[in-house]
Amino acid sequence: MGGGGLAYDGHAGAFARQCVMARRLSEAGVRFVEICQPGWDHHSNLHKGLIDRCGSVDQPVAALLADLEGRGTLADTLVLFGSEFGRLPTAQGPDGRDHNITGYPMFLTGAGVKKGFSYGATDEYGIKAVDGRMHATDLHATLLARMGLDHEKLTYKYAGRDFRLTDVKGAVAKEILA
């Protein structure tokens, strides 16, 4: 991700710099990198706030993916774009949306994930997942598998109970893998 007309000021610039650093860390062998863009909690001011936030990540994410692909590293790099919840399709107050934990999108690309593949669907109102529902433990098991780790082997006993990163649940979503 070089210049390419990418502005490095304001919110977009801060996020773009994080994308560049994530690529550099990945190339240096760091196995897990997280980048964040604050300000997505739109209980109000949805129209302006969402437009600003989308504009600040759209070009940097596209540039990051193009850069990884161009360098030949996307095939070995898993990219997840998402959050811990989505937004309900119904209004909250005059111009906001409440959290939606029952149906929201994320995207994965690279590292053996099928290209151009969509998994799952919500009901006709976009409120809850009705097809291909994936629990967070399934997502975690899938992410760990793409990192070469078997989530079932990461089990330890504590206080007489089995524990693991996927809470002794979770199944790898093989349908999304190439």
Per residue in 69-98, pLDDT (tens digit) is 999 999 999 999 988 788 888 888 888 888
Q: For residue 90, with 0-12 CB atoms within 10 Å meaning exposed, 13-18 middle and 19 or more buried, which class applies?
A: exposed
Full DSSP string of 90-104 = S-SSSS---EESSS-
If DSSP codes are grouped into helix, strand and coil, which group holds residue 79? strand
Placement of tokens 């993916």 in the chain: 65
Q: What stretches of 99-165 adopt beta strand conformation (E)?
A: 99-100, 107-109, 121-122, 129-131, 156-158, 161-163
Task: Write the pLDDT tens digit of every residue in 100-114.
Answer: 888 888 899 999 999
pLDDT band at 6 (very low <50, low <70, confident <90, very high): very low
pLDDT band at 9 (very low <50, low <70, confident <90, very high): low
The model's pTM is 0.82
| C-alpha neighbours within 13 Å on the C-beta side of residue 163 | 6
8 has pLDDT over 90 = no
pLDDT band at 10 (very low <50, low <70, confident <90, very high): low
